[in-house]
Chains A and B, each alone.
Chain A
Amino acid sequence: MAKKVLAVDDSATMRQLVKMTLTRAGYEVVEAEDGAKALEKASAETFDLVLSDINMPNMTGIELLRSLRGLPQYKFTPIVLVTTESQTEKKQEGKTAGATGWIVKPFEPEQLLAVVTKVLRS
Chain B
Amino acid sequence: MELGDLEQLQAGFRHEADDLLTDLGGALLLLELDPLNAEVVNRVFRAMHTLKGSGASAGFRRLANFVHHVEEVFNRIRNKQLQATPELIDATLKACDCCAMLLNLGSTDDDSPLPLETEVLAAMRPFLPDMDKATAKAKANASTGQASVAARYKIGFRPNREIFFSGTDPASLLLELTDLGEMETHCDTGDLLAADPFDPEQCYLRWEVFLDTKQPEQAVRAVFQFVEDDCEVSIEHQEPAASARTESKAARFRGATEQAFSALGFALEQFQSGDENLGLATAHRAAQTLIFACKAHGHAGATIAARKILEAVLAQQVGTLDGGWLPKVKLLIEAARLAVDSPAVAEIVTSPLPGNAVASEISTAPEAATAAASIRVDSVKLDALMRLAGELLVARGALPAFADRVEHISGEESSKSMAKEMRDAGAKVSRLADDLQATVMSIRMMPVRQVFQRFPRLVRDIARSLDKNIELHVSGEETELDKTVIDAIGDPLTHIIRNAADHGIESKADRVGNGKSAIGRIDLSAYTRGSNVVIEVKDDGKGLDAEKLKRRAVEKGLLTEAAVAVMDEEAAFKIILAAGFSTVDKVTDLSGRGVGMDVVRNSVEALHGAIRIQSEIGKGTRFNIELPASMLVSKGIRVAVSGHEVVLPISTIRNMVKIPKSVVRSVQGQQIAPVRGAVFPMLWLAHALSFERMEERRAELAVAIIEAASGPYGLVVDHFLGEVEVVVKPLNGALAKVPEYVGAAIMGDGKTVLVVNTERLFSLQRSLPTAHNDLPIALPG
Contacts and interface: CB of A to CB of B under 8 A. Distances in A.
A101 B168 CA distance: 9
Contacts of B175: 121-122
Contact of A122 (B57, B171, B225, B251): B171
Contact of B75 (A72, A86, A99): A86
A105 B56 CA distance: 8
Contacts of B414: none
A95 interface: yes
Interface in A16-36: 16-17, 20-21, 33-34
Contacts of A14: 50, 53-54, 57
B282 to A, nearest CB: 11
B194 interface: no
Given A97-B258, A122-B172, A12 B16 contact: yes
Interface of A: 10-14, 16-17, 20-21, 33-34, 55-58, 66, 69-72, 75-79, 82, 84, 86, 91-92, 95-102, 105-107, 109, 118-119, 121-122
B226 A57 contact: no
A100 B166 contact: yes
Contacts of B5: 20
B226 A11 contact: no
Indicate the member of B13, B50, B165, B225 with the most A CB atoms within 10 Å.
Answer: B50
A101 to B, nearest CB: 4
Nearest to A50: B167
A119 to B, nearest CB: 7
Contacts of B55: 13, 106
Nearest to A79: B167
Interface string B252-275: 001100100110011001000000
Contacts of B251: 92, 96
Indicate the member of B1, B8, B72 with the most A CB atoms within 10 Å.
Answer: B1
B71 A33 contact: no
A99 B160 CA distance: 13
B165 A70 contact: no
Given A17-B58, A70-B265, A75-B266, A109 B371 contact: no
B12 A119 contact: no
Nearest to A94: B166
Nearest to A117: B176
Contact of B266 (A17, A20, A72): A72
29 contacts: A10-B50, A12-B12, A17-B54, A55-B49, A57-B46, A57-B371, A66-B261, A66-B262, A70-B262, A72-B266, A72-B269, A75-B164, A75-B266, A79-B167, A82-B53, A86-B71, A86-B75, A95-B166, A95-B230, A96-B254, A98-B165, A98-B167, A105-B57, A109-B1, A118-B176, A119-B168, A119-B172, A121-B176, A122-B172
B182 interface: no
Given A11-B50, A17-B57, A76 B9 contact: no
Given A13-B9, A57-B46, A72-B269, A98 B166 contact: yes
Nearest to B373: A33
Contacts of B1: 20-21, 109
Nearest to A56: B46
B52 interface: yes
Contacts of B258: 66, 69, 96-98
A77 B167 CA distance: 5
Given A12-B15, A14-B50, A66-B262, 18 more contacts: A12-B12, A13-B13, A13-B55, A13-B58, A16-B8, A17-B9, A55-B46, A57-B46, A57-B367, A70-B266, A75-B266, A79-B167, A86-B75, A98-B166, A99-B226, A105-B53, A107-B57, A122-B171
Contacts of A106: 53, 55-57, 64
Contact of B226 (A17, A72, A75, A102): A102
Indicate the member of B16, B72, B165, B226 with the most A CB atoms within 10 Å.
Answer: B226
B561 interface: no
A100 B9 contact: no
Nearest to B56: A106
Interface of B: 1, 5, 8-9, 12-13, 15-16, 45-46, 49-50, 52-58, 64, 71-72, 75, 164-169, 171-172, 175-176, 201, 225-226, 229-230, 251, 254-255, 258, 261-262, 265-266, 269, 367-368, 371
Contacts, number: 133
Contacts of A11: 16, 50, 53-54
Indicate the member of B53, B56, B226, B368 with the most A CB atoms within 10 Å.
Answer: B53
A95 to B, nearest CB: 6
A122 B226 CA distance: 16
B266 A13 contact: no
A99 B166 contact: yes
B265 A100 contact: no
Nearest to A110: B1
A122 B230 CA distance: 21
Contacts of B9: 13, 16-17, 20
